[in-house]
Amino acid sequence: MKEQSKRLGEDKIGSLMWRLSVPAFIGMFVMGMYNIVDTIFVARGVGSLGVAALSIAFPVQMIMMAMAAMFGIGGASIISRALGAGKQEEANRVYHQVVWLVIISSLVLAIITFIFLDPLVTMFGATPEIHQYAKDFLQILLLGSVFQTFAMAMNNIVRSEGNAKIAMLTMIISAVLNMILNPIFIMGLDMGIRGSAFATLIAQAVGAIWLLLYFLSGKSSLTLKGIRFHIDWKLSGSIVAIGFPSFIMMSAGSIVSISVNWMLNIHGGTMAIAAYGVANRIASFMIMPINGVTQGMQPIVGFNYGSREYKRVVKAVKLSIVAATAMSLIAFAVVELFPDLLVSVFTTDQQLLRDGAHAVQIVLLAAPTIGFQIVCGGLYQALGRARISFVISLMRQIICLIPLLLILPNFWGLDGVWYAFPLADVAAFTVCLIIMLRTWRGLFKNPEMV
Protein backbone atom coordinates (compact mmCIF):
# COMPACT_ATOMS: atom_id res chain seq x y z
CA MET A 1 0.00 0.00 0.00
CA LYS A 2 1.38 3.41 -0.99
CA GLU A 3 1.97 6.23 1.50
CA GLN A 4 -1.01 8.30 0.30
CA SER A 5 -3.36 5.47 1.29
CA LYS A 6 -1.76 4.88 4.71
CA ARG A 7 -2.24 8.55 5.60
CA LEU A 8 -6.02 8.12 5.40
CA GLY A 9 -5.89 6.22 8.67
CA GLU A 10 -3.05 8.13 10.36
CA ASP A 11 -3.11 11.89 9.68
CA LYS A 12 -5.32 14.32 11.59
CA ILE A 13 -8.80 14.63 10.12
CA GLY A 14 -8.55 18.39 9.67
CA SER A 15 -5.29 18.20 7.73
CA LEU A 16 -6.58 15.21 5.73
CA MET A 17 -9.75 17.06 4.79
CA TRP A 18 -7.66 20.02 3.71
CA ARG A 19 -5.21 17.88 1.74
CA LEU A 20 -7.97 15.95 -0.05
CA SER A 21 -10.67 18.60 -0.39
CA VAL A 22 -8.54 21.51 -1.60
CA PRO A 23 -7.24 19.64 -4.68
CA ALA A 24 -10.78 18.39 -5.34
CA PHE A 25 -12.07 21.93 -4.86
CA ILE A 26 -9.46 23.36 -7.26
CA GLY A 27 -10.17 20.67 -9.83
CA MET A 28 -13.93 21.20 -9.61
CA PHE A 29 -13.44 24.98 -9.73
CA VAL A 30 -11.40 24.71 -12.91
CA MET A 31 -13.98 22.34 -14.41
CA GLY A 32 -16.68 24.81 -13.47
CA MET A 33 -14.70 27.58 -15.15
CA TYR A 34 -14.42 25.40 -18.24
CA ASN A 35 -18.22 25.03 -18.39
CA ILE A 36 -18.63 28.78 -18.04
CA VAL A 37 -15.93 29.65 -20.58
CA ASP A 38 -17.34 27.07 -23.00
CA THR A 39 -20.77 28.68 -22.73
CA ILE A 40 -19.28 32.17 -23.12
CA PHE A 41 -17.52 31.29 -26.37
CA VAL A 42 -20.60 29.51 -27.70
CA ALA A 43 -22.77 32.49 -26.76
CA ARG A 44 -20.45 34.99 -28.40
CA GLY A 45 -19.31 32.84 -31.33
CA VAL A 46 -22.56 31.06 -32.18
CA GLY A 47 -25.28 33.05 -30.39
CA SER A 48 -28.27 32.30 -28.17
CA LEU A 49 -29.26 29.35 -30.37
CA GLY A 50 -25.90 27.76 -29.58
CA VAL A 51 -26.44 28.22 -25.83
CA ALA A 52 -29.91 26.70 -26.16
CA ALA A 53 -28.37 23.77 -28.07
CA LEU A 54 -25.99 23.11 -25.16
CA SER A 55 -29.04 22.83 -22.89
CA ILE A 56 -30.60 20.31 -25.28
CA ALA A 57 -27.35 18.28 -25.44
CA PHE A 58 -26.92 18.37 -21.67
CA PRO A 59 -29.02 15.23 -20.93
CA VAL A 60 -26.72 13.04 -23.06
CA GLN A 61 -23.65 14.44 -21.31
CA MET A 62 -25.31 13.78 -17.96
CA ILE A 63 -26.02 10.15 -18.86
CA MET A 64 -22.36 9.61 -19.78
CA MET A 65 -21.23 11.22 -16.53
CA ALA A 66 -23.85 9.21 -14.63
CA MET A 67 -22.43 5.90 -15.89
CA ALA A 68 -18.90 7.01 -15.05
CA ALA A 69 -19.99 8.10 -11.58
CA MET A 70 -21.85 4.84 -10.97
CA PHE A 71 -18.84 2.65 -11.71
CA GLY A 72 -16.25 5.08 -10.34
CA ILE A 73 -17.95 5.92 -7.04
CA GLY A 74 -19.20 2.36 -6.52
CA GLY A 75 -15.71 0.97 -7.13
CA ALA A 76 -14.05 3.72 -5.08
CA SER A 77 -16.21 2.94 -2.05
CA ILE A 78 -15.23 -0.74 -2.09
CA ILE A 79 -11.58 0.03 -2.85
CA SER A 80 -11.14 2.53 0.00
CA ARG A 81 -12.71 0.13 2.52
CA ALA A 82 -10.60 -2.76 1.16
CA LEU A 83 -7.41 -0.70 1.49
CA GLY A 84 -8.45 0.29 5.02
CA ALA A 85 -8.86 -3.40 5.89
CA GLY A 86 -5.48 -4.26 4.29
CA LYS A 87 -7.01 -6.22 1.40
CA GLN A 88 -4.75 -5.11 -1.45
CA GLU A 89 -5.64 -7.94 -3.85
CA GLU A 90 -9.36 -7.28 -3.50
CA ALA A 91 -8.79 -3.56 -4.18
CA ASN A 92 -6.95 -4.38 -7.42
CA ARG A 93 -9.65 -6.82 -8.48
CA VAL A 94 -12.33 -4.14 -8.04
CA TYR A 95 -10.21 -1.63 -9.97
CA HIS A 96 -9.84 -3.99 -12.94
CA GLN A 97 -13.55 -4.63 -12.98
CA VAL A 98 -14.31 -0.89 -13.05
CA VAL A 99 -12.02 -0.45 -16.07
CA TRP A 100 -13.93 -3.01 -18.13
CA LEU A 101 -17.36 -1.82 -17.02
CA VAL A 102 -16.53 1.75 -18.05
CA ILE A 103 -15.16 0.83 -21.47
CA ILE A 104 -17.99 -1.53 -22.44
CA SER A 105 -20.85 0.66 -21.19
CA SER A 106 -19.56 3.87 -22.80
CA LEU A 107 -19.18 2.21 -26.21
CA VAL A 108 -22.67 0.69 -26.04
CA LEU A 109 -24.21 4.04 -25.03
CA ALA A 110 -22.45 5.89 -27.86
CA ILE A 111 -23.62 3.41 -30.50
CA ILE A 112 -27.25 3.46 -29.32
CA THR A 113 -27.33 7.27 -29.12
CA PHE A 114 -25.85 7.62 -32.61
CA ILE A 115 -28.56 5.35 -34.05
CA PHE A 116 -31.43 7.29 -32.43
CA LEU A 117 -29.89 10.76 -32.37
CA ASP A 118 -32.57 12.62 -34.39
CA PRO A 119 -35.58 11.47 -32.35
CA LEU A 120 -33.61 11.88 -29.11
CA VAL A 121 -32.79 15.52 -29.85
CA THR A 122 -36.46 16.17 -30.56
CA MET A 123 -37.47 14.32 -27.39
CA PHE A 124 -35.05 16.47 -25.36
CA GLY A 125 -37.11 19.53 -26.25
CA ALA A 126 -35.28 20.98 -29.25
CA THR A 127 -37.23 23.50 -31.31
CA PRO A 128 -36.70 23.39 -35.10
CA GLU A 129 -34.28 26.34 -34.73
CA ILE A 130 -32.08 24.48 -32.24
CA HIS A 131 -32.29 20.92 -33.61
CA GLN A 132 -29.34 20.96 -36.03
CA TYR A 133 -27.07 22.81 -33.59
CA ALA A 134 -27.68 20.19 -30.88
CA LYS A 135 -27.23 17.33 -33.34
CA ASP A 136 -23.93 18.74 -34.66
CA PHE A 137 -22.60 19.08 -31.11
CA LEU A 138 -23.62 15.60 -29.98
CA GLN A 139 -22.37 13.74 -33.07
CA ILE A 140 -18.81 14.82 -32.31
CA LEU A 141 -19.09 14.55 -28.53
CA LEU A 142 -20.19 10.91 -28.75
CA LEU A 143 -16.98 9.99 -30.57
CA GLY A 144 -15.11 10.69 -27.34
CA SER A 145 -17.59 9.12 -24.92
CA VAL A 146 -15.13 6.42 -23.81
CA PHE A 147 -12.57 9.09 -22.88
CA GLN A 148 -15.05 11.12 -20.82
CA THR A 149 -16.41 8.15 -18.89
CA PHE A 150 -12.95 6.64 -18.32
CA ALA A 151 -11.46 9.91 -17.02
CA MET A 152 -14.36 10.62 -14.67
CA ALA A 153 -14.58 7.08 -13.29
CA MET A 154 -10.81 6.77 -12.79
CA ASN A 155 -10.70 10.13 -11.01
CA ASN A 156 -12.97 8.65 -8.34
CA ILE A 157 -10.70 5.61 -8.11
CA VAL A 158 -7.62 7.83 -7.68
CA ARG A 159 -9.34 9.73 -4.86
CA SER A 160 -10.28 6.45 -3.15
CA GLU A 161 -6.58 5.71 -2.59
CA GLY A 162 -5.98 9.19 -1.18
CA ASN A 163 -4.21 10.78 -4.17
CA ALA A 164 -6.31 13.89 -4.63
CA LYS A 165 -3.53 15.81 -6.41
CA ILE A 166 -3.54 13.48 -9.42
CA ALA A 167 -7.33 13.75 -9.65
CA MET A 168 -7.02 17.54 -9.47
CA LEU A 169 -4.34 17.66 -12.17
CA THR A 170 -6.47 15.51 -14.47
CA MET A 171 -9.36 17.97 -14.26
CA ILE A 172 -7.06 20.99 -14.63
CA ILE A 173 -5.31 19.56 -17.69
CA SER A 174 -8.61 18.74 -19.44
CA ALA A 175 -10.30 22.01 -18.50
CA VAL A 176 -7.40 24.31 -19.41
CA LEU A 177 -6.84 22.53 -22.73
CA ASN A 178 -10.55 22.86 -23.47
CA MET A 179 -10.54 26.58 -22.66
CA ILE A 180 -7.56 27.09 -24.98
CA LEU A 181 -9.04 25.08 -27.86
CA ASN A 182 -12.58 26.53 -27.67
CA PRO A 183 -11.86 29.99 -29.12
CA ILE A 184 -9.46 28.48 -31.67
CA PHE A 185 -12.02 26.02 -33.02
CA ILE A 186 -15.21 28.09 -32.59
CA MET A 187 -13.96 31.46 -33.80
CA GLY A 188 -10.46 31.02 -35.24
CA LEU A 189 -11.37 28.06 -37.48
CA ASP A 190 -15.02 29.19 -37.77
CA MET A 191 -16.33 25.74 -36.77
CA GLY A 192 -19.21 27.06 -34.66
CA ILE A 193 -20.87 24.61 -32.28
CA ARG A 194 -18.85 21.74 -33.77
CA GLY A 195 -15.69 23.51 -32.67
CA SER A 196 -16.86 23.40 -29.05
CA ALA A 197 -17.50 19.66 -29.35
CA PHE A 198 -14.08 18.98 -30.90
CA ALA A 199 -12.37 20.97 -28.14
CA THR A 200 -14.20 18.90 -25.52
CA LEU A 201 -13.34 15.60 -27.22
CA ILE A 202 -9.61 16.38 -27.44
CA ALA A 203 -9.44 17.64 -23.86
CA GLN A 204 -11.17 14.52 -22.51
CA ALA A 205 -8.89 12.23 -24.49
CA VAL A 206 -5.80 13.91 -23.05
CA GLY A 207 -7.21 13.60 -19.52
CA ALA A 208 -7.92 9.88 -20.00
CA ILE A 209 -4.40 9.24 -21.32
CA TRP A 210 -2.90 11.17 -18.39
CA LEU A 211 -4.72 8.91 -15.91
CA LEU A 212 -3.75 5.75 -17.78
CA LEU A 213 -0.08 6.79 -17.60
CA TYR A 214 -0.43 7.37 -13.85
CA PHE A 215 -1.69 3.84 -13.23
CA LEU A 216 1.07 2.42 -15.43
CA SER A 217 3.78 4.42 -13.62
CA GLY A 218 3.71 2.37 -10.39
CA LYS A 219 2.88 5.43 -8.25
CA SER A 220 -0.63 4.21 -7.49
CA SER A 221 -1.65 1.81 -4.71
CA LEU A 222 -3.55 0.04 -7.51
CA THR A 223 -2.04 -1.67 -10.53
CA LEU A 224 -3.09 -2.76 -14.00
CA LYS A 225 -0.74 -5.74 -13.73
CA GLY A 226 -2.58 -8.98 -14.35
CA ILE A 227 -5.66 -7.32 -15.84
CA ARG A 228 -7.61 -9.50 -18.25
CA PHE A 229 -11.05 -9.32 -19.78
CA HIS A 230 -13.37 -10.90 -17.27
CA ILE A 231 -16.74 -9.75 -15.96
CA ASP A 232 -17.32 -10.84 -12.37
CA TRP A 233 -21.09 -10.46 -12.17
CA LYS A 234 -21.27 -10.63 -8.39
CA LEU A 235 -18.57 -7.98 -7.95
CA SER A 236 -20.08 -5.87 -10.72
CA GLY A 237 -23.41 -6.07 -8.92
CA SER A 238 -21.81 -4.75 -5.73
CA ILE A 239 -20.13 -1.90 -7.61
CA VAL A 240 -23.38 -0.96 -9.35
CA ALA A 241 -25.46 -1.23 -6.16
CA ILE A 242 -23.27 1.30 -4.35
CA GLY A 243 -22.81 3.60 -7.34
CA PHE A 244 -26.39 3.34 -8.58
CA PRO A 245 -27.62 6.30 -6.46
CA SER A 246 -25.10 8.50 -8.27
CA PHE A 247 -26.36 7.14 -11.59
CA ILE A 248 -29.94 7.87 -10.58
CA MET A 249 -29.07 11.34 -9.33
CA MET A 250 -27.23 12.31 -12.51
CA SER A 251 -29.62 10.49 -14.83
CA ALA A 252 -32.42 12.26 -13.05
CA GLY A 253 -30.58 15.42 -14.00
CA SER A 254 -31.10 14.38 -17.62
CA ILE A 255 -34.78 13.74 -17.02
CA VAL A 256 -35.06 17.08 -15.24
CA SER A 257 -33.32 18.86 -18.14
CA ILE A 258 -35.70 17.25 -20.62
CA SER A 259 -38.71 18.19 -18.47
CA VAL A 260 -37.45 21.75 -18.00
CA ASN A 261 -36.76 22.16 -21.72
CA TRP A 262 -40.24 20.95 -22.61
CA MET A 263 -41.95 23.24 -20.09
CA LEU A 264 -39.79 26.18 -21.13
CA ASN A 265 -40.61 25.51 -24.77
CA ILE A 266 -44.31 25.65 -23.90
CA HIS A 267 -44.23 28.66 -21.57
CA GLY A 268 -41.25 30.69 -22.78
CA GLY A 269 -39.77 29.47 -26.07
CA THR A 270 -36.17 29.44 -27.30
CA MET A 271 -35.02 32.42 -25.20
CA ALA A 272 -36.27 30.76 -22.01
CA ILE A 273 -34.30 27.61 -22.88
CA ALA A 274 -31.20 29.75 -23.40
CA ALA A 275 -31.83 31.46 -20.03
CA TYR A 276 -31.98 28.04 -18.38
CA GLY A 277 -28.70 27.14 -20.08
CA VAL A 278 -27.02 30.16 -18.47
CA ALA A 279 -28.71 29.71 -15.07
CA ASN A 280 -27.81 26.01 -15.03
CA ARG A 281 -24.14 26.80 -15.74
CA ILE A 282 -24.04 29.32 -12.89
CA ALA A 283 -25.78 26.95 -10.47
CA SER A 284 -23.43 24.09 -11.41
CA PHE A 285 -20.42 26.34 -10.85
CA MET A 286 -21.69 27.38 -7.42
CA ILE A 287 -22.15 23.73 -6.39
CA MET A 288 -18.68 22.61 -7.59
CA PRO A 289 -16.83 23.53 -4.35
CA ILE A 290 -19.36 21.57 -2.29
CA ASN A 291 -18.76 18.52 -4.46
CA GLY A 292 -15.04 19.04 -3.82
CA VAL A 293 -15.57 18.87 -0.05
CA THR A 294 -17.67 15.72 -0.41
CA GLN A 295 -15.09 14.07 -2.64
CA GLY A 296 -12.42 14.88 -0.06
CA MET A 297 -14.56 13.35 2.69
CA GLN A 298 -15.43 10.06 0.99
CA PRO A 299 -12.01 8.30 0.96
CA ILE A 300 -11.45 9.31 4.61
CA VAL A 301 -14.84 7.92 5.61
CA GLY A 302 -14.46 4.73 3.56
CA PHE A 303 -10.91 3.93 4.70
CA ASN A 304 -11.56 4.58 8.40
CA TYR A 305 -14.90 2.80 8.36
CA GLY A 306 -13.11 -0.22 6.86
CA SER A 307 -10.51 -0.10 9.64
CA ARG A 308 -13.24 0.54 12.30
CA GLU A 309 -11.88 3.92 13.31
CA TYR A 310 -15.36 5.33 13.86
CA LYS A 311 -14.32 8.48 15.71
CA ARG A 312 -12.37 9.58 12.66
CA VAL A 313 -15.41 8.94 10.46
CA VAL A 314 -17.58 11.15 12.66
CA LYS A 315 -15.05 13.99 12.69
CA ALA A 316 -14.75 13.93 8.90
CA VAL A 317 -18.52 14.03 8.42
CA LYS A 318 -19.10 16.89 10.87
CA LEU A 319 -16.31 18.97 9.35
CA SER A 320 -17.68 18.34 5.85
CA ILE A 321 -21.20 19.45 6.80
CA VAL A 322 -19.91 22.70 8.31
CA ALA A 323 -17.69 23.48 5.29
CA ALA A 324 -20.38 22.58 2.71
CA THR A 325 -23.05 24.65 4.48
CA ALA A 326 -20.73 27.67 4.64
CA MET A 327 -20.09 27.35 0.90
CA SER A 328 -23.84 27.07 0.23
CA LEU A 329 -24.46 30.32 2.12
CA ILE A 330 -21.73 32.12 0.17
CA ALA A 331 -23.16 30.87 -3.14
CA PHE A 332 -26.63 32.06 -2.11
CA ALA A 333 -25.36 35.53 -1.21
CA VAL A 334 -23.40 35.97 -4.45
CA VAL A 335 -26.27 34.88 -6.70
CA GLU A 336 -28.95 36.92 -4.95
CA LEU A 337 -26.82 40.09 -4.77
CA PHE A 338 -25.17 40.02 -8.20
CA PRO A 339 -27.38 38.06 -10.66
CA ASP A 340 -27.06 40.61 -13.47
CA LEU A 341 -23.28 40.67 -13.20
CA LEU A 342 -23.07 36.87 -13.31
CA VAL A 343 -25.27 36.56 -16.38
CA SER A 344 -23.52 39.43 -18.17
CA VAL A 345 -20.38 37.27 -18.27
CA PHE A 346 -22.14 35.02 -20.80
CA THR A 347 -24.00 37.39 -23.08
CA THR A 348 -24.70 40.96 -24.14
CA ASP A 349 -28.21 40.11 -25.38
CA GLN A 350 -30.47 42.32 -23.23
CA GLN A 351 -33.42 39.92 -23.16
CA LEU A 352 -31.19 36.98 -22.22
CA LEU A 353 -29.58 39.15 -19.52
CA ARG A 354 -32.97 39.92 -17.97
CA ASP A 355 -34.36 36.40 -18.29
CA GLY A 356 -31.16 34.71 -17.09
CA ALA A 357 -30.76 36.94 -14.02
CA HIS A 358 -34.39 36.41 -13.03
CA ALA A 359 -34.08 32.64 -13.50
CA VAL A 360 -30.86 32.11 -11.53
CA GLN A 361 -32.12 34.17 -8.58
CA ILE A 362 -35.19 31.97 -8.19
CA VAL A 363 -33.49 28.65 -8.99
CA LEU A 364 -30.96 29.15 -6.15
CA LEU A 365 -33.37 30.57 -3.55
CA ALA A 366 -32.86 27.47 -1.38
CA ALA A 367 -29.10 27.23 -2.01
CA PRO A 368 -28.26 27.19 1.76
CA THR A 369 -29.78 23.69 1.98
CA ILE A 370 -27.76 22.18 -0.88
CA GLY A 371 -24.49 21.57 1.00
CA PHE A 372 -26.07 19.29 3.59
CA GLN A 373 -27.88 17.30 0.89
CA ILE A 374 -24.69 16.64 -1.09
CA VAL A 375 -22.62 15.63 1.95
CA CYS A 376 -25.42 13.40 3.21
CA GLY A 377 -25.64 11.51 -0.09
CA GLY A 378 -21.84 11.21 -0.31
CA LEU A 379 -21.61 9.86 3.23
CA TYR A 380 -23.93 6.90 2.67
CA GLN A 381 -22.20 6.04 -0.58
CA ALA A 382 -18.79 6.02 1.11
CA LEU A 383 -20.17 3.68 3.77
CA GLY A 384 -21.63 1.33 1.16
CA ARG A 385 -25.23 1.98 2.31
CA ALA A 386 -26.74 1.72 -1.14
CA ARG A 387 -30.42 1.80 -0.19
CA ILE A 388 -30.23 4.98 1.86
CA SER A 389 -28.08 6.71 -0.75
CA PHE A 390 -30.56 5.63 -3.40
CA VAL A 391 -33.48 7.22 -1.53
CA ILE A 392 -31.54 10.47 -1.07
CA SER A 393 -30.63 10.63 -4.75
CA LEU A 394 -34.24 10.01 -5.81
CA MET A 395 -35.73 12.57 -3.46
CA ARG A 396 -34.78 15.91 -5.00
CA GLN A 397 -34.70 15.11 -8.70
CA ILE A 398 -37.41 12.50 -9.22
CA ILE A 399 -39.84 12.54 -6.29
CA CYS A 400 -39.94 16.31 -5.71
CA LEU A 401 -38.64 18.29 -8.67
CA ILE A 402 -40.26 16.62 -11.68
CA PRO A 403 -43.85 16.71 -10.29
CA LEU A 404 -43.36 20.36 -9.33
CA LEU A 405 -42.05 21.13 -12.84
CA LEU A 406 -45.19 19.62 -14.33
CA ILE A 407 -47.65 21.22 -11.88
CA LEU A 408 -46.46 24.73 -11.00
CA PRO A 409 -46.28 26.19 -14.56
CA ASN A 410 -50.02 25.54 -14.86
CA PHE A 411 -50.54 28.20 -12.17
CA TRP A 412 -47.58 30.58 -12.59
CA GLY A 413 -46.44 30.00 -16.16
CA LEU A 414 -42.71 30.44 -16.75
CA ASP A 415 -42.03 31.43 -13.13
CA GLY A 416 -43.58 28.13 -12.07
CA VAL A 417 -40.67 26.32 -13.76
CA TRP A 418 -38.13 28.37 -11.81
CA TYR A 419 -39.91 28.05 -8.43
CA ALA A 420 -39.95 24.26 -8.71
CA PHE A 421 -36.19 24.17 -7.99
CA PRO A 422 -36.07 25.85 -4.54
CA LEU A 423 -39.22 24.04 -3.38
CA ALA A 424 -37.65 20.70 -4.33
CA ASP A 425 -34.46 21.65 -2.47
CA VAL A 426 -36.35 22.39 0.75
CA ALA A 427 -38.23 19.09 0.54
CA ALA A 428 -35.04 17.09 -0.15
CA PHE A 429 -33.20 18.81 2.70
CA THR A 430 -35.99 17.88 5.12
CA VAL A 431 -35.86 14.22 4.06
CA CYS A 432 -32.03 14.11 4.33
CA LEU A 433 -32.18 15.55 7.83
CA ILE A 434 -34.77 12.98 8.92
CA ILE A 435 -32.74 10.10 7.43
CA MET A 436 -29.55 11.30 9.12
CA LEU A 437 -31.23 11.62 12.52
CA ARG A 438 -32.88 8.18 12.25
CA THR A 439 -29.89 6.20 10.97
CA TRP A 440 -26.80 7.97 12.35
CA ARG A 441 -26.20 5.84 15.43
CA GLY A 442 -27.03 2.61 13.65
CA LEU A 443 -24.17 3.16 11.20
CA PHE A 444 -21.58 2.22 13.82
CA LYS A 445 -21.02 -0.84 15.95
CA ASN A 446 -19.91 1.45 18.77
CA PRO A 447 -22.69 4.06 18.85
CA GLU A 448 -21.37 5.68 22.03
CA MET A 449 -18.55 7.09 19.93
CA VAL A 450 -20.90 9.26 17.90
Tens of pLDDT along the chain (450 residues) come to 444 445 555 566 766 777 666 776 776 677 666 667 767 777 766 766 777 777 777 777 777 778 887 888 787 777 777 776 677 677 777 777 788 888 888 888 888 888 887 777 777 666 677 777 777 778 787 887 888 788 888 877 777 676 667 777 777 888 788 788 877 887 778 777 778 888 888 888 888 888 888 877 777 666 666 666 677 777 777 777 777 767 776 776 667 777 777 788 777 777 787 788 778 778 877 777 887 788 778 777 877 777 777 778 788 888 888 888 998 899 889 888 888 888 887 777 788 788 888 888 888 888 888 888 888 888 887 777 767 777 777 777 778 888 888 888 888 888 888 888 899 889 888 888 888 888 776 666 544 433
pTM over the 0.85 mark: no
User: What pLDDT sits at residue 85?
Assistant: 67
282, 342 contact by CB (below 8 A): yes
The Cα–Cα gap between 436 and 422 comes to 21
373, 249 contact by CB (below 8 A): no
Q: How far apart are the first and last CA of the chain?
A: 29
Contacts 24+ apart (CB under 8 A), 165-169: 165/23, 166/211, 166/214, 167/23, 167/24, 167/27, 167/295, 168/23, 168/24, 168/26, 168/27, 169/27, 169/210
